[in-house]
């Protein structure tokens, strides 16, 4: 009597193992390339046409971003303090129909000021070359820039990642706007007080 339930259990286990191996064989990776499409009411398959990106639908923007800083030093800094000016530019090209059109460039530049007292000046120039989608109804290109002016004495100690005695001021140069025309020098002036 005991052999029948044991035999039934063995048979059930064997059939379960065979079914599992058959199911896993069916779900294995298929080397065939799938073609997206649809089947009409007559049972005929129609592949969907794929749009091939047009390589000519891009524009190369070259030029220079030229930012002149006029700094008014109102703080008292110890001897050895230096002032640096920095500019960060972010350029984005976003295509609303094809994600491959999406591009982002981040560029930055730093320059030392002429002095650390009075009204020092500095200039940051960022030459660039950006390949962006050609602006259209479906491709939007944007440009923004921000600045930072930092005064610090490199002989002072640091606490963690912060230097003791640092003074910083930062802000936008230009908010989201059109990308400068190719082949141009775009000039900005920043007035900063430290």
- Please count the other Cβ atoms lying within 10 Å of the Cβ belonging to residue 78: 10
Helix (H, G, I), strand (E, B) or coil at 8: helix
CA distance 99 to 183: 27
- CATH 2.60.40 assigned to domain 59-193? The reply is yes
At residue 48, the pLDDT reads 60
Strand order across the beta sheet in which 184-193 lies:
121-133, 58-72, 184-193
Q: What is the pLDDT along the chain (194 residues), one digit of tens a residue?
A: 444 444 443 444 444 444 444 444 444 444 445 566 666 777 776 666 544 444 447 889 999 999 999 999 998 888 888 999 999 999 998 875 555 557 889 999 999 998 888 899 999 999 999 998 888 777 888 999 999 999 887 776 666 666 556 788 999 999 989 999 889 999 999 999 99
Per DSSP, which regions of 10-138 are E strands? 37-39, 45-47, 58-72, 81-95, 103-112, 121-133
pTM over 0.75: no
Count Cβ neighbours within 10 Å for each residue of 164-176 and write b for 16 or more, e otherwise: eeeeeeeeebeee
Every domain of the chain and the residues it spans? 59-193
At residue 158, the pLDDT reads 65
Helix (H, G, I), strand (E, B) or coil at 2: coil
């Amino acid at each position: 009597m005991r052999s029948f339930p044991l035999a039934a259990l063995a048979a059930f286990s064997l059939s379960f193992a065979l079914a599992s191996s058959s199911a896993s064989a069916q779900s294995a990776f298929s080397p065939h390339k799938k073609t997206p499409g649809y089947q009409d009411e007559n049972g005929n398959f129609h592949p969907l046409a794929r749009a091939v990106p047009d390589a000519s639908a891009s524009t190369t923007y070259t030029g220079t971003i030229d930012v002149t800083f006029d700094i008014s030093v109102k703080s008292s800094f110890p001897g050895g303090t230096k002032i640096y000016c920095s500019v960060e530019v972010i350029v984005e090209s976003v295509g609303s129909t094809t994600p491959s059109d999406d591009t982002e460039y981040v560029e930055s530049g730093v320059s030392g000021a002429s002095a650390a007292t009075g009204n020092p000046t500095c200039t940051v120039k960022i030459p660039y070359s950006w390949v962006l989608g050609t602006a259209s109804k479906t491709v939007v290109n944007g440009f923004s820039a921000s600045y930072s002016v930092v005064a610090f004495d490199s002989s002072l100690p640091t606490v963690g990642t912060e230097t003791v005695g640092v003074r910083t001021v930062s802000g936008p140069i230009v908010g989201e706007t059109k990308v400068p025309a190719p082949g141009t020098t775009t000039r900005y002036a920043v007035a900063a007080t430290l």
